[in-house]
Amino acid sequence: MQTHAAIVTEIQELAPAVLQLTVAFTDRDFEFEPGQWVNFQFPEGVSRAYTIASAPQRPDAVQLCVRVGAGRGGEALKKLIPGATVAIDGPFGDFVLPQQDGRPVAFLAGDTGIAPVRSIVLHMLATKDKRPISVLYEPDQRHILYAGDFDPLARDGSIVHVSGKIETLIARNRRALESSLKMAAGFDGFLARVQSALRANGIDPSGAIVESFGPEP
Ligand SMILES: Cc1cc2nc3c(=O)[nH]c(=O)nc-3n(C[C@H](O)[C@H](O)[C@H](O)COP(=O)(O)OP(=O)(O)OC[C@H]3O[C@@H](n4cnc5c(N)ncnc54)[C@H](O)[C@@H]3O)c2cc1C
């Protein structure tokens, strides 16, 4: 593990209480696999885990997609301004696509859990990965994060991207899910519902690759 100095170059509000942070590294040796997360150290010393939402094709900067919570991380986010110097530890995590698994890939994401999915999907398309891609997405309050990326890809048939209540999406896509590699990301409550819904549809959730963001902010 290595600590990297970085500068927050842009802060965009993607939806109410959801920010995209663009972070540029001052050194050039940060590398990550799509789906991994970093430990983000705010200028005041608080640190929180955030997942990289961008693909590794642009290695000098990363995008993070973050729900502003009620805790100390949320408070630090509200004070963060473009130009702030931060420290990034990592990358960490094994929410990564197994290269040797040839099955279609089905992502199940809730809210900002779309961050690692965006990174992996953009990377799969950039590297011309042949596996069919489905994204089943449960947004918070109908705010489809990264619709600007996913909608054109769904329209031209590069991926399937559907949104709604996750129980409904799992029931509707039961057959495709049975034969797919499943990767699920989001806060704990969402992941528990994914597990129950998979079971309720006769699908064993134990083989799924899962990234937990912890309790709901
Ligand atoms: C591996 C990993 C990756 C992650 N990636 C992402 C990501 O990409 N995007 C993302 O949005 N999040 C992500 N998270 C979650 C993130 O790290 C934080 O846990 C989350 O943002 C909450 O941080 P916080 O400081 O606001 O709350 P914390 O201080 O960590 O408190 C946890 C929870 O306690 C409650 N709480 C705490 N203080 C108060 C208070 N004063 N009043 C009321 N309630 C309170 C809130 O529900 C809060 O969310 C990830 C977590 C992990 C473990």
Domains for the chain: give ranges and CATH numbers.
Answer: 2-92 (2.40.30.10), 105-212 (3.40.50.80)
pLDDT band at 162 (very low <50, low <70, confident <90, very high): very high
| Strand 85-92 with 2-15, pairing | antiparallel
Site to probe by mutation for ligand 1, drawn from 22, 33, 42, 51 as the one with most ligand atoms within 8 Å of Cβ, is 51
How confident is the model over 62-81, as pLDDT tens digits? 999 999 999 999 999 999 99
User: What pLDDT sits at residue 35?
Assistant: 98
Which pLDDT value is given to residue 3? Answer: 92
pLDDT at res. 193? 98
Closest CA to 52 of 21, 86, 8: 21
76 CA: nearest ligand 1 atom: 25
Residue 28 has pLDDT above 80, yes or no: no
The answer to whether 164 and 197 have CB atoms below 8 angstroms apart is no
The residue with greater pLDDT, 98 or 27, is: 98
Residue type, 15: A
Nearest C-alpha to atom 14 of ligand 1 is from which residue?
Answer: 213
CA gap 175, 177 in Å, rounded: 5
Range 177-197 average pLDDT: 98
Q: Which two tokens stand for residue 101?
A: 């698994």
User: What whole-number percentage of the chain has pLDDT above 90?
Assistant: 94
* Mean local confidence (pLDDT), 189-217: 97
